[in-house]
Amino acid sequence: MSEKMKIKLKTKSLGHNVVTYGIVILFYVAMTFMKSAGMLSNSMQGFLVPICAYVVMAVSLNLTVGIMGELSLGHAGFMSVGAYTGVVIAALLQNGVESGPIRLAISMLIGGIMAGLVSLIVVVPVLRLRGDYLAIVTLAFGEIIRNIIQCLYVGVDENGVHVSMRSEAALALEEGGRVVVRGPMGAVGIQKLSSLTAGFILIMITLLVVLNLVNSRHGRSIMAMRDNRIAAESIGISPVRYKIMAFVTSAVLAGMAGALYAMNFSSILAKKFDFNASILVLVFVVLGGMGNIRGSIIAAAALTILPELLREYADYRMLVYAVVLILVMLVTNNPKLKTMVDELKEKFTLSGKKSKKGDLQG
C-alpha cells in the first residue's frame, strides 16, 4: 500500500471518529442543558444513566460480534459481575473514601477488572469453538453467573468482606457490619453514585479504547481473522491471542458499565442481567450495524428511550416497539434501499466537491 493511500485511509478514519465523538458530546451537552432547564421529567432523567450503560454495552459487544465476528449471548453475565463487584467495593469504601465520584471510579475499575478475569475463565477453555457452539457456551455462562449470584450472600464490616452461599447468619458479621448482597433479594441499600457525567466519561473511554483498537494493527488482525481465518493463520496471525484480546476488552468494558448501571438504583436483582438483557444488547448491535460503532451508539440510545416515549400508549407500547424494530430491520437489510442511500451519499459528496471547486476558482 502506498503512503498516499495510507494517509487517505487514516484521514477518513479520523473523520469518522471525530463525528462519533461529536455525537456523544452533543448528546451530553443537550441532556445537561435540558436537565438544568427543567425540560426533562423525573422518569426521563432516570433513563440517562441506563442509556450510557447500554451504549457502552453495545459498543463493547460490537467488538466481539461485529469486529471479531463471533456470536456472544452472555454479555449480560459480564455486566452482572461488574455490577455486583462494584456495589460491594462501593460499600467497602464508604467509610474510607468520602468522595462519591472517586468511590464510583474505583468501583467501576475493579468491577471491570473482575469481569475481565471471569471472561478469561470462559474464553480459555472454548478458544477452539466458533459460531453457534461459542454462542451456546456464552449463553450457558450468563445463566450460570445469574444463578450463582442468586445464591450469594455478601456482607461488609470492619474486618472486610464476608461471603457465604448458605445464609446471612453464616456471614458472622461484627457489630456495625451490614449485608450488601442478600441472595435472591439481590443487592440492597446501594448508595446512588452514578451520574450522567460519569456515564459520559465512560462512553468516551470506551470509544477511545475500541476505536483505537479497531484502527490499530491488532484491530486489522482481528478483522482479518473474521474475514478469512485460514488466510489470517497462514500469514502468522494468532487466533488465540486476538480472540482473548477482543473478549477480555469487551468484558472489562461491560463490567464497568454494569457497575455504573447498578449504582443508579437503591437495589438491584440478578434477573436484570438474564438472557433477555444479552439479547437486548445484541439487538442494539444488529440494528446499528455489525461493526458500526456509531450505529450501536444511536441504536442503544434510541431503543432504550423508545419504550418510555411510548408509555402513553399503555398496553400497546411494546407492540409498537416490536413493530418499529421489525420495520427498521427490514429497511436496513433491503438491498434496494441500501443502493438508494449510497447513491444519495455520492450525490451529496459530488455536490460538496463541486461547491468547493467553485469557491476556489472564485
pLDDT averaged per 10 residues in sequence order, the chain, 362 residues:
60 78 92 88 86 94 88 89 92 85 93 92 77 82 88 86 84 82 87 92 94 87 83 81 88 94 90 88 85 88 81 68 72 70 66 52 52
Q: Grid coordinates representing 145?
A: 453467573
Q: Contact at 8 Å (CB) between 79 and 273?
A: yes
Classify the C-alpha dihedral 229-234-235-237 as positive or negative: positive
The alpha carbon torsion through 47, 211, 120, 153 (nearest 10 deg) reads -20
Q: Which residues contact 247 (CB under 8 A, 6 or more apart)?
A: 64, 72, 119, 122, 123
Mapped onto helix, strand or coil, the DSSP state of residue 127 is coil
CA neighbor of 208 nearest in space, from 360, 36, 29, 60 = 60
Q: Grid coordinates representing 89?
A: 467495593
> DSSP string of 203-245?
HHHHHHHHHHHHTSHHHHHHHHHHH-HHHHHHTT--HHHHHHH
- pLDDT tens-digit series, residues 162-198: 888 888 888 878 887 888 888 888 888 888 899 999 9
pLDDT at 2: 57
Burial of 264 (0-12, 13-18, 19+ CB in 10 A): buried
For cell 477511545, what's the residue?
208
Distance between CA atoms of residues 335 and 339, nearest Å = 6
pLDDT at 56: 95
Q: Contact at 8 Å (CB) between 219 and 66?
A: no
Residue 102: Cβ within 10 Å count:
12
pLDDT at 167: 82
Q: Grid coordinates representing 147?
A: 444463578
